[in-house]
């Protein structure tokens, strides 16, 4: 079993206390260091600018209306829903790492689960913006919730769009609880290491006065296991429900039962792409090489290879069914994807999602950080284009040729999307700066020194 | 063993217990087994991570948390089904594409999500509640040594209120169990610091009261009446950028929103060349016959009856005596500007030609407004026909009753 801290990599044979001390120092050191890498400041400055751009875009949108986007009567979903599905998908890797790999006892997850969960939460926050602003009048968005408001009517629960409201908000809530609960013991560490009174009080309150009692750990571990067991079906359900937004409609190209598993595979693929995009640089900038080890990066690349192949298989199934069903509309939709006006977008998607993951067959591609970064950026691009193809190419060529149109995004489409990328980076950089980015207590528990039977006594 | 006490500036109160440190998780497990074997009950172990095997060594009973989480999940399922049934099938039956009001398959996704949500909330909050956290004022935090518990320290503490607690004997037991350091932990001498800081309950109380405010506002809004329009945060629907009738327009050459038809043209259905049907005039005089489009028939009179009851009866009354509900109320409240509606059975109205009554309905008279915009021509003629029938009914003689029915009278 691969563990987070490998004893052989430590410079001297050290005592258990020294091993645990080193984990604490390494992780707390990231937050406690005096000077931060220049790259952090540059990235933070860029993300701040993009957050301002997001604010301006939303302001303009609220006071002018969604006519500022490229959406039209034919293409009513546009970039807003493309971005929504993209960001929700990103989030899935975090829950997969924290819940499913936990249930499978993959201890290597302890080095990356905290930051992957943070990524989940920030990605779902970005995702949540889009359906909200896409409704046109976001200030009455509370109509989507079962509240006794002044019109005295209730939401229509048989609509997949309502299922989506419940799925995404449940997903956000559960991810947040899971993330926070996992962080409480580490916030206790920050409290006990705090040099200033204010820090001690803030982290003391945030850590709920955690004191690591065995009776408390017992209930804590049980709750953690239960949350992992609950989050596992949840994460599979969320992207399934998102895919119902499409699959339950009658639209050619959407109305297929393969959508739920296809969307879940794509979500994990895109999510692992984003985890690597964030962690490969963070690992080098903060010297976390002996906690997030090369083998962990390699494992994630292998997950990309697997899920990328699943996505490619889904594409093939879609094409096969489009032909085999004998449905002329379905057949035309897929012919149109490859040879129609959005051929260029389909080409990008096919290259990034079908060809790119197969580079990870080669060990060099799984170990060289520059190659990994290049490939995972392509994965992110490819998955964005997958949603673009599903939404835009289907809607712009519907049943009746009289309604056909082309889709051209506007400046504000791009500004809003870039703005959410900025918000995502902004939140993630703040997370790196102020919170424990690696689950210290879990990493310690996964060391050989932590096991009573390691010394042959128990 | 109390060498660390000088670093705790506040005065020590009564003894809380003895804190022993051991160096490895393995030693913690074996020390726990020894303390348990010695029969202590009020004690606990402390470690930076969950130590494998400690629960068995301490004899910790399995937590009830999974049962609570299961109940939370079941509650979520039940609530979701109940909510969807009540909201979509009972309180506001939604008609959507002929689907049944309540259909379980369509309700499964939300039932599933709420199951997970309530189970997760129970797991999270239930765990903290069972652990009696948040508690930031525990006596162990008075020990500097104890700060290592979140880093690399392993501790075992026996409380002074344990029945078997004896300062010397307990200390000896801890030493024998492998303690590398033993320290007495005292409660704070200041009784206030033993308990929750006073700000916390105050904060909770204020938050709880503040959280009730929105509900109070909703309750008030739902039980009281107001003549004010709804409050709109963004009044985009109240002030729409569109042209309305009679407004000025900056776009059109004559500066008016309302445009005349193009000269020499007539809009579809707007020709209205038939004077008899559209204006009730035949050869320059009020028509005394009904137009050919509305021939006198039972169907026409029934249509007229129905339209009369809708449009005319509120003022003129169901039998045409000018005593409709509106008229009665105006009389009752003594409205100063009220003109009494005409009694349709007055001699001069009975003598008016059909065309003149048609004209009165179309264009209004005195205080009566025009009904031309609401009632199509054919219906206006049908009303005239019904008014004629009403008038005749109120001045009927035995001769008006068909001979076959005369025997049934009286």
> What's the complex ipTM?
0.91
B320 — alpha (psi -120 to 50), left (phi > 0) or beta?
Answer: left
Q: Do B131 and A220 touch (CB under 8 A)?
A: yes
Mutation test of the interface with chain A: which of B89, B102, B116, choosing the one with the most A Cβ atoms within 10 A?
Answer: B116
Q: Is A234 on the interface with B (CB under 8 A)?
A: yes
Q: Please give the Cα distance from B292 to B381 (Å, whole number).
A: 11
Check pLDDT > 60 for residue A81: yes
**Residue of B28 and B136 predicted with greater confidence:** B28
Where does the pLDDT of residue A346 fall: very low under 50, low under 70, confident under 90, or very high at 90 and above? very high
Q: Do B150 and A210 touch (CB under 8 A)?
A: yes
Q: Return the SS3 of A283.
A: helix
Q: Which helix (H) or strand (E) holds A266?
A: helix A259-285
pLDDT at residue A16 in the model? 82
Q: Is A281 on the interface with B (CB under 8 A)?
A: no
| Backbone φ, ψ for residue B387 (5° rounding) | -65, -40
Q: Do A214 and B110 touch (CB under 8 A)?
A: no
pLDDT digit string, tens, across residues B361-389: 999 998 899 999 999 999 999 999 999 99
Q: Is A259 on the interface with B (CB under 8 A)?
A: no
Q: CA of A175: which chain B residue's CA is closest? A: B120
Environment class of residue B259 by beta-carbon count within 10 Å: exposed (0-12), middle (13-18) or buried (19+)? exposed
Check pLDDT > 80 for residue B4: no
Where does the pLDDT of residue A457 fall: very low under 50, low under 70, confident under 90, or very high at 90 and above? very low
Check pLDDT > 50 for residue A12: no
pLDDT at residue A419 in the model? 96
pLDDT digit string, tens, across residues A389-430: 999 999 999 898 998 989 999 999 999 999 999 999 999 999
Where does the pLDDT of residue A343 fall: very low under 50, low under 70, confident under 90, or very high at 90 and above? very high
pLDDT at residue B3 in the model? 41
Average pLDDT (B228-255) is 83
Q: Do B106 and A174 touch (CB under 8 A)?
A: no
List the single residue in B113, B116, B149 with the smallest CB-CB distance to A212.
B149
pLDDT digit string, tens, across residues A57-77: 999 998 888 889 999 888 899
Where does the pLDDT of residue A137 fall: very low under 50, low under 70, confident under 90, or very high at 90 and above? confident
Q: Do A158 and B107 touch (CB under 8 A)?
A: yes
pLDDT digit string, tens, across residues A83-111: 999 999 998 888 888 888 888 888 888 88
List the single residue in A20, A137, A223 with the smallest CB-CB distance to B124.
A223
pLDDT digit string, tens, across residues B169-212: 999 999 998 889 999 998 887 777 667 777 888 989 999 999 99
pLDDT at residue B10 in the model? 62
pLDDT digit string, tens, across residues B311-368: 999 999 999 999 999 999 998 888 888 888 999 999 899 999 999 999 999 999 988 9
- Which residues in chain B are closer than 8 Å to A452, comparing Cβ atoms? 25-26, 29, 51-53
Average pLDDT (A209-224) is 93
pLDDT digit string, tens, across residues A145-204: 898 877 788 999 989 999 999 999 999 999 999 999 999 999 999 999 998 889 998 999
Mean pLDDT of the residues in chain B: 88
Beta bridge partners of A211: none
pLDDT at residue B9 in the model? 54
B39 to each of B26, B162, B164, how far by Cα in Å?
A: 21, 10, 7
Q: Per mean pLDDT, which range of A328-342, B1-15, B132-146, B240-254 is the poorest? A: B1-15
**The B43-46 sheet, strands edge to edge:** B43-46, B154-159, B12-22, B181-188
Cβ neighbors of B370 (< 8 A, separation 6 or more) are B362, B363, B364
Q: CA of B134: which chain A residue's CA is closest? A: A208
pLDDT at residue A59 in the model? 93
3-state SS track over B55-91: HHHHCCCCCCHHHHHHHHHHHHHHHHHHHHHHHHHHH
Beta bridge partners of B75: none
Q: Do B127 and A230 touch (CB under 8 A)?
A: no
Q: Please give the Cα distance from A277 to A424 (Å, whole number).
A: 13
pLDDT at residue B194 in the model? 66
Q: How far is B6 from chain A (nearest CA, A)?
A: 19
Q: Please give the Cα distance from A124 to A131 (Å, whole number).
A: 12
* pTM for the structure as a whole: 0.80
Give DSSP secondary structure letters for A63-87: HH-GGGSS--SS--SHHHHHHHHHH
pLDDT at residue B236 in the model? 74
Q: Per mean pLDDT, which range of A223-237, A331-345, B331-345, B394-408 is the poorest? A: B394-408
What does the block give as tokens for B396?
């009927």
Chain center to CA of B76: 19
Q: Please give the Cα distance from A166 to A157 (Å, whole number).
A: 10
């Amino acid at each position: 079993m691969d563990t987070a801290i490998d004893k052989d990599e430590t410079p001297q044979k050290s005592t258990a206390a020294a091993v645990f001390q080193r984990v604490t120092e390494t992780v707390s050191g990231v937050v406690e260091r005096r000077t931060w890498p220049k790259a952090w400041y540059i990235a933070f400055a860029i993300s701040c600018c993009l957050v301002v751009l997001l604010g301006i875009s939303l302001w303009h949108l609220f006071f002018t209306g969604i006519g500022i986007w490229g959406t039209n009567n034919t293409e009513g979903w546009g970039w807003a829903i493309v971005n929504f599905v993209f960001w929700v998908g990103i989030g899935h890797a975090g829950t997969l790492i924290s819940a499913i790999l936990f249930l499978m006892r993959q201890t290597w997850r302890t080095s990356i689960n905290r930051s992957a969960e943070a990524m989940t939460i920030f990605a779902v926050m970005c995702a949540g913006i889009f359906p909200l602003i896409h409704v046109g009048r976001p200030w009455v968005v509370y109509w989507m919730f079962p509240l006794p408001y002044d019109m005295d009517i209730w939401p229509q629960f048989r609509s997949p769009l309502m299922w989506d409201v419940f799925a995404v908000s449940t997903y956000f809530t559960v991810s947040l609880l899971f993330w926070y609960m996992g962080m409480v013991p580490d916030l206790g560490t920050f409290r006990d290491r705090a040099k200033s009174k204010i820090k001690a009080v803030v982290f003391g309150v945030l850590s709920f006065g955690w004191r690591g009692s065995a009776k408390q750990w017992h209930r804590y571990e049980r709750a953690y296991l239960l949350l992992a067991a609950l989050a596992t079906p949840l994460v599979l359900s969320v992207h399934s429900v998102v895919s119902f937004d499409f699959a339950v409609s009658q639209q050619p190209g959407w109305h297929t039962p393969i959508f739920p598993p296809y969307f879940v595979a794509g979500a994990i693929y895109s999510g692992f792409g984003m985890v690597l995009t964030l962690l490969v640089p963070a690992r080098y900038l903060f010297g976390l090489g002996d906690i997030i080890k090369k083998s962990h990066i390699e494992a994630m690349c292998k997950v990309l290879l697997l899920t990328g192949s699943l996505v490619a298989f889904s594409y093939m199934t879609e094409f096969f069914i489009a032909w085999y069903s004998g449905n002329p509309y379905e057949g035309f939709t897929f012919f149109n994807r490859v040879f129609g006006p959005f051929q260029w977008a389909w080409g990008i998607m096919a290259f990034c999602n079908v060809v790119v993951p197969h580079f990870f067959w080669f060990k060099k591609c799984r170990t060289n950080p520059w190659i990994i970064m290049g490939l995972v950026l392509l994965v992110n691009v490819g998955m964005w284009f997958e949603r673009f193809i599903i939404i835009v190419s289907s809607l712009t060529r519907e049943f009746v040729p009289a309604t056909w149109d082309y889709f051209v995004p506007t400046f504000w489409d791009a500004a809003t999307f870039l703005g959410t990328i900025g918000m995502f980076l902004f939140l993630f950089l703040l997370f790196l700066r102020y919170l424990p980015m690696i689950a210290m207590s879990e990493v310690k528990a996964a060391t050989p020194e932590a096991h009573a039977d390691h010394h042959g006594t128990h | 063993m109390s060498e660390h006490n000088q670093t705790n500036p506040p005065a020590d109160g009564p003894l809380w217990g003895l804190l022993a440190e051991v160096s490895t998780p393995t030693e913690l497990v074996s020390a726990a087994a020894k303390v348990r074997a010695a029969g202590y009950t009020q004690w606990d172990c402390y470690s930076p991570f969950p130590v494998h095997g400690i629960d068995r060594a301490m004899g910790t009973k399995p937590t009830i948390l999974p049962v609570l989480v299961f109940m939370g999940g079941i509650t979520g399922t039940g609530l979701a089904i109940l909510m969807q049934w009540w909201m979509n099938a009972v309180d506001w039956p939604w008609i959507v594409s002929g689907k049944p009001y309540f259909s379980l398959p369509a309700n499964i996704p939300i039932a599933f999500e709420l199951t997970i949500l309530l189970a997760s909330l129970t797991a999270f909050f239930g765990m903290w509640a069972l652990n009696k956290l948040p508690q930031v004022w525990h006596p162990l935090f008075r020990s500097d040594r104890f700060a290592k518990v979140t880093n690399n320290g392993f501790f075992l503490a026996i409380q002074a209120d344990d029945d078997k607690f004896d300062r010397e004997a307990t200390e000896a037991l801890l030493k024998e169990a492998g303690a590398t350091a033993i320290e007495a932990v005292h409660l704070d001498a200041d009784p206030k610091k033993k308990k929750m800081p006073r700000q916390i309950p105050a904060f909770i109380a204020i938050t709880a009261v503040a959280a009730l405010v929105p509900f109070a506002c909703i309750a008030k809004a739902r039980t009281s009446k107001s003549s004010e329009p709804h409050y709109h945060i963004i009044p985009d629907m109240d002030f729409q950028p569109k042209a309305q009738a009679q407004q000025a327009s900056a776009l059109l050459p004559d500066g008016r929103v309302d445009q005349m038809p193009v000269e020499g043209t007539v809009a579809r259905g707007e020709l209205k060349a038939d004077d008899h049907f559209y204006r009730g005039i035949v050869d320059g005089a009020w028509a005394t016959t009904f137009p050919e489009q509305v021939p006198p028939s039972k169907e026409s009179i029934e249509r007229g009856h129905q339209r009369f009851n809708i449009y005319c009866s509120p003022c003129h009354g169901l039998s045409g005596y000018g005593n409709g509900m509106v008229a009665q109320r105006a009389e009752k409240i003594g409205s100063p500007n009220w003109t009494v509606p005409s009694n349709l059975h007055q001699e001069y109205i009975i003598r008016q030609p059909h065309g003149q009554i048609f004209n009165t309905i179309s264009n209004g008279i005195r205080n009566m407004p025009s009904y031309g915009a609401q009632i199509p021509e054919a219906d206006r003629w049908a009303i005239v026909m019904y008014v004629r029938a009403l008038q005749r009914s109120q001045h009927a003689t035995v001769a008006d009753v068909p001979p076959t029915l005369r025997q049934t009278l009286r």
